[in-house]
Amino acid sequence: MTLLLREAIGDELRRVRTGQGRTLREVSTNARVSLGYLSEVERGQKEASSELLASICEALDVQIGDMLFQVAGVLRPADVAANATDTLVEVIAPQEDSVDGAGVATALAAA
């Protein structure tokens, strides 16, 4: 069964919140979102809007980008992540035969 994005985000939000020893009620109050809705987001039953997600992250004192980076690591298997990084390096790295530094532009144009 495939893990959905909303489930992975909910799991990460819950992990951060419980790691801080905070209650759903405390975070929901600080994020200005209902307790029930926050609970549904954490359980992966509701998809949080970007505004709501930003508010929850602010209440948890975490950067939204850091939280999403953790989620991306869960959603992407290690072997796929390694291949994606290798491909990205190949696309943006200068060509060996490039004398004038145009290799990056050539590689990006070809991608």
Question: Which amino acid is residue 13, in one-letter code?
Answer: L
Query: Which of 1.10.1660.10, 1.20.120.550, 1.10.150.120, 1.10.260.40 would CATH assign to domain 5-75?
Result: 1.10.260.40
Domain(s) labelled CATH 1.10.260.40 in the chain stretch across: 5-75
**What pLDDT score was predicted for residue 2?**
82
The pLDDT value recorded for residue 29 is 97
Q: Which long-range contacts (CB under 8 A, 24 or more apart) does 28-37 make?
A: 30/58, 30/59, 31/55, 31/56, 31/58, 31/59
CA gap 48, 14 in Å, rounded = 14
> Would you say residue 27 has pLDDT above 80?
yes
Whether pTM exceeds 0.75: no
pLDDT tens digits, 52-106: 999 999 999 999 999 999 999 999 876 554 555 554 444 444 445 444 444 444 4
